[in-house]
Structures are given as C-alpha cells and as structure tokens.
Amino acid sequence: MTVRHGYRTVVFDLDGVLINSFQVMRQAFALAHHEVVGEGEPPFDEYRTHQGRYFPDIMRLMGLPLSMEKPFVEASRSLIKEVEVYEGVPWLLQRLRASGIGTAIATGKSGERAREVLDVVGLLPLLDAVVGSDEVPRPKPAPDIVLEGLRRLDAEPQHAVMVGDAVIDLQAGRAAGTATAAALWGETTAGPLRGERPDHVLHQPTELLSAVLDEASR
C-alpha cells in the first residue's frame, strides 16, 4: 500500500461531511428558538453561516441566549434517527482503514453528542478517534481540536489532511499544520471554501481516496 503526499491520517469535520443533519438542525433550532426566545422567525440562515463552530459560541456571535443549547440538544436527540449518512461514506471509511490510514473526527458538536449520532448511524466503529469542541481549550478555527485528534492517534500533522465543509475547518487544519480538503457535497457554499485555497477540492466523499491513496491501493 502506497499513500500519496505522505498522508497517514485523515481528520474529518462531521456535519456536512460524513452526515447530512441539515434538516434535523433546522427543526431543532426552530424548536429551541420558539421555546427560549418566543415569537418571530428563527434566524436559521444566519445560524448556517456559523456552521462548524461550537453551539454556545454561535449563540454568542448571534446575540442569542445560551439557554437555547439545552432544548436544541434535546430536540436534536429526539430527531437523531432522521440523520442521514452521505452516499459512499461507509465504503470510504472502510477503504481508509483497510489501507492503514487513521481517521479522526474534529467537530463543532460536543464529544458526547458526536459519538451518540455516529453510533446511531453506524459510523462509530469505522473511526479511530472522535473529538468534540467541549474537549479542547479552544474550538475551531483554533488548531486545538485537530491537534487533539492527531494526538489521540499518535499522528503527525505533516502527514495528515483535514476535510471540512466550512472555512473554519480549513483554517483549523492549516493552523495545525495539516493539508486541507474542501468537501463540497453538502449544504456548503463553494466560493468561500475555494477562497481558502485548500490543497484538495472534493465533490464526492469517495474522491478523497484519489487524494490519499495511489491508484494501485484503491
């Protein structure tokens, strides 16, 4: 097995990269907003612009009550079975593992919530480490969460690539010293991601194999 670019580890963001949780987020955000704030249209479009950040940090940036977190998490859990895995993701993770490539999650979710949803959708056994934003001193775009994922795998950043669908994912990877890959198959906007000049631009999850493995190893 030969790896391209010397990659030995892949660090993934979660939402919008491995799983499609967009509709669940929309419903949970609306329920939490109505419960805590009251009447009015929930500003979900603005919330979307902060994807990848830790939920309490998003509330601070939007000037919304931190007390929205509890009903948001509760609603998300009640809807968890509606979360979908993007086509090709299980096969991708299986191929990476079979090729000796370590995998980690670095997500804006809390670690507990991330592991819970990954378990429900069946991806948890295919991953080597899961790190939530509550498990590091500073969330993305700081490099802490990427570095923690690498630490848990005893991996070096120069041999790793960070895959994300948000600008702060790529910024966190770059700050940690990894290569970066923009994931364009979810609910993201391509322009800002391309503007970060990632090392790889991926339109489908399985395209990652071409970036990581040589043809004979795929």
Position 197, amino acid: R
Count of alpha carbons within 13 Å of 40, Cβ hemisphere only?
10
The total domain count for the chain is 2
Contact (Cβ atoms closer than 8 angstroms) between residue 182 and residue 198: yes
Its pTM stands at 0.90
Instruction: Based on the fold, state whether residues 177 and 72 are members of the same structural domain.
Output: no
**Which residues make Cβ contacts (< 8 Å) with residue 32, sequence separation at least 6?**
68, 69, 71, 72, 75
Instruction: Based on the fold, state whether residues 129 and 147 are members of the same structural domain.
Output: yes
What are the structure tokens assigned to 19, written together?
Answer: 């799983």
93 pairs with which residues across the strands?
A: none
**What CATH number did the domain enclosing 140 receive?**
3.40.50.1000
186: containing domain: 4-20+84-217
Q: Among 62, 82, 102, where does a domain finish? A: 82
Instruction: Based on the fold, state whether residues 47 and 14 are members of the same structural domain.
Output: no
The answer to whether residue 216 scores a pLDDT higher than 70 is: no
Instruction: Based on the fold, state whether residues 30 and 71 are members of the same structural domain.
Output: yes
Instruction: Based on the fold, state whether residues 58 and 132 are members of the same structural domain.
Output: no
What pLDDT is stored for residue 3 in this prediction?
Answer: 53
**Which residues make Cβ contacts (< 8 Å) with residue 37, sequence separation at least 6?**
64, 65, 68
d(C-alpha 176, C-alpha 47), whole Å = 26
What pLDDT is stored for residue 2 in this prediction?
Answer: 45
pLDDT tens, 166-198? 999 999 999 999 999 999 998 888 999 999 999
What are the structure tokens assigned to 181, written together?
Answer: 């890959």
Q: Among 50, 82, 114, where does a domain finish? A: 82
Mean of the pLDDT values across residues 201-213? 93
Instruction: Based on the fold, state whether residues 48 and 67 are members of the same structural domain.
Output: yes
Q: Among 35, 56, 82, where does a domain finish? A: 82
What pLDDT is stored for residue 6 in this prediction?
Answer: 81
Instruction: Based on the fold, state whether residues 77 and 11 are members of the same structural domain.
Output: no
The answer to whether residue 163 scores a pLDDT higher than 90 is: yes
What pLDDT is stored for residue 1 in this prediction?
Answer: 43
